[in-house]
Amino acid sequence: MGASAPYTVAGYRIFRELVEGQGALPAAFKALYVAVAAASKNWRDVAVRELQRGANLGLSAGDATAGAIVLSSLRGEGAASLFLDVLSAVFESQPPANAAAVNVDVAPGEAEANFKQYFGTVPPPLAKLLALSPRGADAYYLMRKGSIDSNPLSRKYAELMLLTVLAADYSPMVAVHVKGARAAGASDAEIAEAILCAIPVAGVAAWVSAAGHLDAT
């Protein structure tokens, strides 16, 4: 392709350098972010390639499980299962055995208080969920907490992973997690690199779509 599209190839090479190299974010984590975004789109080959690259850079299997946790909440069972399959292949481990179910109690008002604390208010979709299905709101709260607050990665790196996946889907929810990443201590340079990690699976439109949300406060 280089002979017929030299500018495209050269530009993409620079993007890959930004995604693959040590920069504002650790290179191993950026490889994980690309792999998770690829799994969210059902692109197994890309997910394997990128997660293997992360492993070669020192990413641990434990840290990599953060991808399955985030995808379970953000993109559902199919994407999470695909990522777990990729993780097992790359790290040559058996899928985790089904453990006994663990019940986590949610106190009355706990979910609503968490929404207010995180979002600043209760967003209309969550207010509707609280009104129509309080147990559904509890479930939403637990999965949000699992993705961000109880993740093998720190809260900052979990928020940045969410940003990559959302940018790859051109989602307006990027604005929420730009705010969340900043609250967790992420710099604008780190946020920018997390969004750039979406380009290998979603093209330059990922940056264009997300850039308008970088002014979120």
Query: Over its length of 217 residues, how does the chain's per-residue pLDDT go in tens digits?
Result: 656 788 999 998 999 999 999 999 999 999 999 999 999 999 999 999 999 999 999 999 999 999 999 999 999 999 999 999 999 999 987 555 555 567 888 999 999 999 999 999 999 999 999 999 999 999 999 999 999 988 899 999 999 999 999 999 999 999 999 999 999 999 999 999 999 999 999 999 999 999 888 886 5
According to DSSP H, which parts of 120-183 are helical?
A: 124-132, 134-148, 155-168, 174-183
What is the C-alpha separation between 93 and 95, in angstroms, rounded? 6
Q: What are the structural domains, with CATH classification, of the chain?
A: 6-94+107-211 (1.20.1290.10)
List all residues 6 or more positions away from 189 whose beta carbon is below 8 Å from its beta carbon: 23, 24
Q: pTM score, two decimals?
A: 0.92
Q: Which tokens in the block code for residue 91?
A: 């790290």
pLDDT at 139: 95
